[in-house]
């Protein structure tokens, strides 16, 4: 990370809830279930191998679990999104993140970074690969694609040592085994039509297995259905 050690300026958790209206004509206002709305928590929160106490996911096939226990996001990105979306209410927790960090971003955080956060020890596992739900929350059909295209995705961590964490904790870098593989590089390898970068990153043992498999396909010229992930039911007519 950069010279200034990041701190958790907002720690947030939330459980799945249903949103929307059954009679809505606009797909962006129809019923959907998500835990993307996270509420701030003050005081210590237990971080286990599968995530923060009080946090959950609606679709556990693609969200959460040991490889994606916590979603971190840089505080510095919110100004960009407020301007881009012309909304002043885009702030901490806007995209379902658990930790909002005071410093660092995708260019300064690397896959495999081992971090001490409060009483826990965690490791950066992969970038966030946005689905259609941030777009649904902010009623902006292209938002999930913009998160991906701009590289302002945030990143996930796996838990190496369980412990209590809380707002204000310093995020201390302990180890950096792969300094060439920033989160920004990983996003480029996955989404930038860069088969050489995809092939190199696919061999990183500390990247999540799902990402390694996808990168191998991309290195061979085969891409997944990004449109279905990014648009989902938001494109229904």
97 in a structural domain = yes
Q: Nearest 5°: phi and psi at 100?
A: -100, 125
For residue 181, the enclosing domain spans: 8-235
Lookup: tokens for 192: 């930038």
Count up the domains in the chain and report the number: 1
1 in a structural domain = no
Q: Is 209 exposed, middle or buried (0-12, 13-18, 19+ CB in 10 A)?
A: exposed
158 in a structural domain = yes
3 in a structural domain = no
Q: Average pLDDT in the 70-78 region?
A: 98
Reported as a single tens digit per residue, the pLDDT across 146-197 is 999 999 999 999 999 999 999 999 999 999 999 999 999 999 999 999 999 9
2 in a structural domain = no
Q: Average pLDDT in the 64-77 region?
A: 97
* Percent share of the chain, pLDDT over 90: 87
225 in a structural domain = yes
34 in a structural domain = yes
Greater model confidence, 180 or 24: 180
CATH of residue 89's domain is 2.40.33.20
Mean pLDDT of the residues in the chain: 95
* Percent share of the chain, pLDDT over 70: 98
């Amino acid at each position: 990370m950069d010279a200034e050690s990041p701190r958790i300026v907002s720690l947030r958790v939330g459980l799945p809830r249903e949103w929307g209206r059954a009679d809505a004509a606009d797909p962006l206002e129809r019923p959907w279930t998500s835990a993307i709305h996270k509420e701030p928590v003050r005081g210590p929160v237990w971080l286990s191998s599968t995530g923060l106490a009080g946090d959950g996911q609606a679709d556990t096939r693609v969200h959460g679990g040991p490889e994606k226990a916590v979603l971190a996001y840089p505080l510095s990105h919110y100004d960009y999104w407020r301007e881009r979306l012309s909304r002043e209410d885009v702030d901490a927790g806007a995209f379902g993140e658990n930790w909002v960090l005071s410093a660092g971003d995708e260019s300064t955080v690397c896959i495999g970074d081992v971090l001490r956060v409060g009483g826990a020890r965690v490791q950066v596992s992969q970038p966030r690969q946005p689905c259609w739900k941030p777009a649904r929350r902010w009623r902006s059909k292209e938002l999930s694609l913009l998160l991906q295209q701009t590289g302002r995705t945030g990143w996930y961590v796996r838990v190496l040592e369980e412990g209590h964490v809380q707002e204000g904790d310093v995020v201390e870098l302990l180890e950096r085994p792969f300094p060439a593989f920033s989160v920004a590089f990983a996003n480029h390898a996955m989404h930038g039509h860069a088969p050489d970068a995809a092939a190199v990153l696919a061999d990183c043992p500390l990247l999540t297995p799902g990402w390694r498999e996808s990168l191998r396909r991309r290195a061979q010229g085969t891409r997944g259905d990004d449109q279905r992930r990014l648009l989902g039911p938001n494109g229904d007519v």
